[in-house]
Structure 1
């Protein structure tokens, strides 16, 4: 299940080398302590929790509300486990930008070097589908630029990925936990957390199920027919929508769409999930097919933003919901215990406790 989403200010720049080195050392010590305490599966559960992940970044010393926290903490995690992954049974693949596109190869390399109880191709599929869902099937205005895939020797996995919206200068972080994924394309998340919501083409919403079925059928049709239907709709100017983020006929260029539709037609995907997994089928193709589904077949997709909760543990004024004190206290207590049991020296521990305390006070005042 996807366990949460966080919205953060989009910041540029790089983490200083002196800080990143210390973050890497502390991350290794914390992960070793966590593996001893909860096992590799427990680490996955924590990393998939957006609240705990944010607290971890603060304990490591990074800016508590910066978009860079995601990429830097994931980078420190990958570097920290690079030489002890086999020993701990915990592996990290992917990263930011071009590195994210090497995720499948890195998964396969780890699977060749170490015994993994699950078919490596299944892990590659999970990596690709989680990215496809958040970048193409849920079109919320955030373009993915970071994807980290963490998995265990037992074959369990988690995903931390982040997208950016240059228009509002925000970044949105998506967390996935693979243990309870039943269907990648129908409500794959348990909670989606952010401070802003907007109208979103949400093809993985439960209410989009009729549209998913029709879109899967359309993808098996000859491209010439779909292009002809889109052209006819544009000529008739049937769609009149108010000012909002829904797809409009003027946004679709049938001729440019032909090449992508040809790929899906040649593959004959059996359903929407197979279509989404087809290389080359991205946001534009899905927007066009969802538009045809709505106008020609009367099966509109959902435009509900999956975000439901504020990023943090709630607000002191009760908006958008009261502070969840139990979850809040549990996050802090777990990090305190992990820090106490880690093999860091006293000075490093005290600095980490101090930063964690500062973050705790900030969250209490929200």
Structure 2
């Protein structure tokens, strides 16, 4: 996980997360985390956070704008509010945040370190180094404004930070993971999200080792006049021949988040979506609801749970289309449809019931969610379903009955 695992373009969006959604994101984010830690452990949750495709899908399933830069701020904020009260149980701590909160990261790390016993001084230095690399060693036109540090009791950590480019109205997110990291200036990122925008200066790439050493030698051994002469000669050489990319440059998967706000069929793997829907329809009314033993859960909630189950259990390759997960609980700006509050609250209720019983050794509800995810994957190989326009139109038709709400108000 010490190498880049992908990239994406994140449009900059203004606005705030309304309180009614922020509170629900806090509860749903915490209970999904609890389920992942219960099934797979803290290491797996940290791995998920360091994967940009999963992180975007995680935010989308919680009702945030599926493609915008706001997912980063809102997810980090929701996790900080939701996980820190559970830190004694989960052994996870979220520090930092946006703006002034980011500058509090070292002091928050010392506070946690004094409680649990890890080397807070070393981690505080790590926090500063990570920020320095992405703001100074990688000069790509993005100014950092968010720094989130998620650390476990054993000192293992993930850093997620984001920069903005006001001229292009774009953001770039940087993912770091402590596991496998041996050098802060030798290809340290787990991932960098952001569309390529011309040549950048990246002295944190392992392929820049010769360049870094060469710069030090130049400063030690050459006069300013000699350096200027060498630079002029290099410019003439560069203009005379177009160099190809280095052979050792890895081709990375790119998650291109489009400028359009509406969710389109081209943004979604319809085969996977049909599997999600079919699993909910076939399993839900028949026996899934009885198995969960949660009264009042409707078929629409089971559809949302099918996508939540995939966020918990899905492999990294399953998250190349984060727009699909916005169909669980909609979006605050009515894209793809208003947030169905009744469905959202039922999802939280089911998840809390499942996790609470699992703590007592009663695994049947969490296992039922896992089977729902497995069913989705089996069915997607041969089922077909309605097109996206039909699905979204159906959501709008029943929106008011499901408590549809957005930043524009309640659906009438």
TM-score of the pair, normalised by structure 2 = 0.58
Show the 5 A alignment for 1:142-153.
142-153=142-153
Distance 1:73 1:361 in 2: 15
Residue 86 (structure 2) pairs with residue 65 (structure 1) = no
Q: Match for 1:91 among 90, 93, 104? A: 93
Cα distance, 1:194 vs. partner? 3.6
State the distance in 2 between where 1:305 and 1:202 align. 13
Query: Could you say which residue in structure 1 is the equivalent of 2:12?
Result: 10
Change (3 A) 1:190 1:75: closer
User: Quick check: 2:177–2:190 contact (8 Å CA) kept in 1?
Assistant: no
Counterparts in 2 of 1:71 and 1:240: CA distance versus 1, 3 Å = same
Distance in 2 between residues matched to 1:30 and 1:123, nearest whole Å: 26
**CA distance, structure 2, for counterparts of residue 143 and residue 48 of structure 1:** 20
Query: Which has more radius of gyration?
Result: 2
Shift of 1:63: 0.5
Could you tell me which residue of structure 1 aligns to residue 324 of structure 2? Answer: 360
**What are the superposed Cα offsets for residues 143-170 of structure 1, whole Å, 9 maximum, x if unpaired?**
1111101110111111111111112111
Which residue is equivalent to 1:22? 24
CA contact (8 A) 2:66 2:323 kept: yes
Give the superposition deviation at 1:40.
1.3
Structure 2 unaligned regions, length at least 5: 239-245, 258-266, 281-290, 311-321, 328-386, 389-412
Shift of 1:195: 3.4
Measure the CA separation in 1 of the matches of 2:326 and 2:28: 22
Partner of residue 255 from structure 2, selected from 305, 311, 319: 311
CA pair 192-36 structure 1, distance change in 2 beyond 3 A: same
C-alpha distance in 2 between matches for 1:199 and 1:344: 57
- Identify the residue that residue 208 of structure 2 maps to in structure 1: 208
Which consecutive residues of structure 1, in runs of 5 or more, have no partner in the other structure? Answer: 245-301, 314-322
Deviation at 1:187, TM superposition (A): 1.7
Query: Contact between 1:137 and 1:204, CA under 8 Å: does it hold in 2?
Result: yes
Aligned to 2:366: none
Check conservation: 2:29, 2:79, Cα contact below 8 A: yes
Separation of aligned partners in 2, 1:204 and 1:344:
54
Give runs of aligned pairs for residues 1-366 of structure 1, distance below 5 A. 1-2=2-3, 3-116=5-118, 119-189=119-189, 191-216=191-216, 229=224, 233=228, 238=232, 308-311=252-255, 346=297, 350=302, 352-353=304-305, 359-360=323-324
Q: Distance in 2 between matches of 1:111 and 1:122?
A: 10
SS in 1 for 2:16: coil
Q: TM-score, normalised by structure 1?
A: 0.64
Q: 1:87 to 1:207 in 2, by over 3 A?
A: same
**Compared with structure 1, are the counterparts of its residues 27 and 212 closer, same or farther at alpha carbon in structure 2 (3 Å cutoff)?**
same
Query: 1 CA distance for matches of 2:325 and 2:27?
Result: 26
Q: Secondary structure at the match of 2:73?
A: helix
Distance in 1 separating the partners of 2:15 and 2:226: 45
Q: Do 2:171 and 2:194's aligned partners in 1 also have CA atoms closer than 8 Å?
A: no
Size of the alignment, in residue pairs? 279
